[in-house]
Structure 1
């Protein structure tokens, strides 16, 4: 099956509401079309991943007329898996999923994808991309900026997308964090290559902030595949979160906060850490406005730690 073309606004808004009867297209009531015309078109990059899928399905489950979510997945296999699952009781319409290898996509394709998009939620990996060059000293491939995220941010800026919500990770203030050691190789000459995932994520975040795009950056703690909506959430900055010693959070709760960021202006221009208390400890978070207000205006300090 060939990769789908980037959808334009009108097909996405109408395709799911047009009924083909006896060879004729029958339009739904005008009220339904009016609701669709005011819905916010939100792209979800990494919709086939565990956290991105939570975001995508939750947007699909919102009342009609609120969102037109477009899930972006890297491969046909990911698309088929997404369409074949009814996780959370949500059926994914085929026309709402686009196949795109973002790291290698033609800029014009991404521009079409961004056209008329109100926001994009980025849940893709920040792994460094191969540059195509070989390090003469080590004989190993050189790696550079995580191209997928760079391409999305650049396209969002060109398209004037109103809001970019990026999922990062806690740990960015600590260059020696264990996650930075994953995939790192010690070379014979004493240098190292690979790894540094948190440093690359931090560089991606700085790139987004410097782009001028309206943004929200969420740094979740350790991600749990456990139900959301059962815990009190806590926020902080610079890897310090008051109110709990727990450093993990269910993916579903991360998705809830990212969607709240789409709906509340107070989340714009913010970069913060996010964890949860354990189940039964505290009061389950329902008021996301109060959650972001609890930061009292603080944001993460990117002069701390290291960016790749």
Structure 2
């Protein structure tokens, strides 16, 4: 029986936290990374790790997995070519692989503004366009999905307190990466988050309370 959760982008900040959370909970996890040094670090921690470049094929990583988290990104220091290849094309391939491998839950980490990339005047508009089409491809795939669209990511320690309604104050459209990771963990464990798109921001309510109120 397939019981593992594949984390695509486990070498990134959010992905690494998700891997740690699942490990602490003793939930089977597979970490997909492209950097051999990061792979070795994870292996030393007892994490099952798959080394693959998202610009190539990576279907082998889906073996024995029934859930997938796509939290990979091209990064702010790369050009728009990598944004296209990773944030759009690799995400699309991940959806196709998920269909072929009967994945039961696909959690996509997207971005605020992906619903309408014209909504904000932003230097990252190409990234939001890529996320827009990746999200729509997942929506049309027939897979059980949860799409998360966090506000601006910050490196402050997470509080476990969030909101999923958009604040009126632009400066409040932020959330710690650690809290995004905790929301991912919650979504993986709760069936009622399937079929939903959530915007994520720092707030005043505990994660479980927020989603129970939304149910």
**1:101 aligns to 2:47 (yes or no):** no
Query: 1:68-83 to 2 correspondence within 5 Å?
Result: 68-82=28-42
**Kept after mapping to 1: 8 A contact 2:80/2:126:** no
**How far did residue 176 of structure 1 move?**
5.7
Say which SS state the counterpart of residue 149 (structure 2) adopts.
strand
Which residue matches 1:87?
none
C-alpha separation in 2, matches of 1:267 and 1:119: 13
Structure 2 counterpart SS, 1:227: coil
Give ranges in structure 1 of 5+ residues lacking alignment: 1-36, 84-90, 132-142, 183-194, 297-308
Deviation (angstroms), 1:243: 10
The answer to whether the Cα contact below 8 Å between 1:234 and 1:242 also exists between their aligned partners in 2 is no
Higher helix share: 2
Indicate the RMSD between aligned Cα atoms, in angstroms. 2.8
Report SS of the residue matched to 1:104: coil
| Aligned counterparts of 1:59 and 1:126: Cα–Cα separation in 2 | 24
Q: Number of aligned pairs?
A: 209
Write out aligned runs for 1:168-183 (5 A): 168-172=110-114, 173-175=116-118, 177-179=120-122, 181-182=123-124
Q: Distance in 2 between matches of 1:247 and 1:273?
A: 10
Matches within 5 A, 1:79-94: 79-82=39-42, 92-93=45-46
Structure 1 residue 166: deviation in Å?
0.7
| TM-score normalised over the length of structure 1 | 0.61
Structure 2 counterparts to residues 214-253 of structure 1, below 5 A:
214-228=144-158, 230=159, 232-236=161-165, 240-241=166-167, 246-253=172-179
Mapped partners of 1:115, 1:231: distance in 2: 32
In the alignment, is the contact (CA less than 8 A) between 2:113 and 2:119 conserved in 1? Answer: no
Report the 3-state secondary structure (helix = DSSP H, G, I; strand = E; otherwise coil) of the residue aligned with 1:273. strand
Counterpart in the other structure of 1:292: 211
Between the aligned partners of 1:76 and 1:126, the Cα distance in structure 2 is 17
1:116 aligns with 2:64: yes
After superposing on structure 2, the runs of 4+ consecutive aligned residues of structure 1 that deviate more than 6 Å are: 126-129, 242-245
In structure 2, the partner of 1:149 is 91
After the TM superposition, which residues 184-223 of structure 1 pair with which residues of structure 2 at under 5 Å, given as runs? Answer: 196-223=126-153
How high is the TM-score relative to the length of structure 2?
Answer: 0.85
| Aligned partners of 1:126 and 1:200 also within 8 Å | no
Structure scoring higher RCO (CA < 8 A, sep ≥ 6) equals 2
Cα shift at 1:102: 2.0
TM-aligned CA deviation for residue 57 of structure 1 = 0.9
Pairing of 1:39-54 with structure 2 (within 5 A): 40-54=3-17
Distance change (3 Å), C-alpha of 1:206 and 1:92: same
**C-alpha offsets along residues 156-200 of structure 1, whole Å, 9 cap, x if unaligned?**
001101100011111233416344x34xxxxxxxxxxxx611011
1:50 Cα offset (Å): 0.5
Could you tell me which runs of 5 or more consecutive residues in structure 2 were left unpaired when the two chains were aligned. Answer: none
Distance apart, 1:55 and its partner CA: 0.6
Larger CA Rg, structure 1 vs 2: 1
Distance 1:53 1:163, change over 3 A: same
Task: Find the aligned partners of 1:263 and 1:252 in 2 and give their Cα distance.
Answer: 17
Corresponding residue SS for 1:118: strand
1:210-249 Cα offsets, whole Å, 9 max, x none, are 0111000011111111212x2531003xxx3479961111
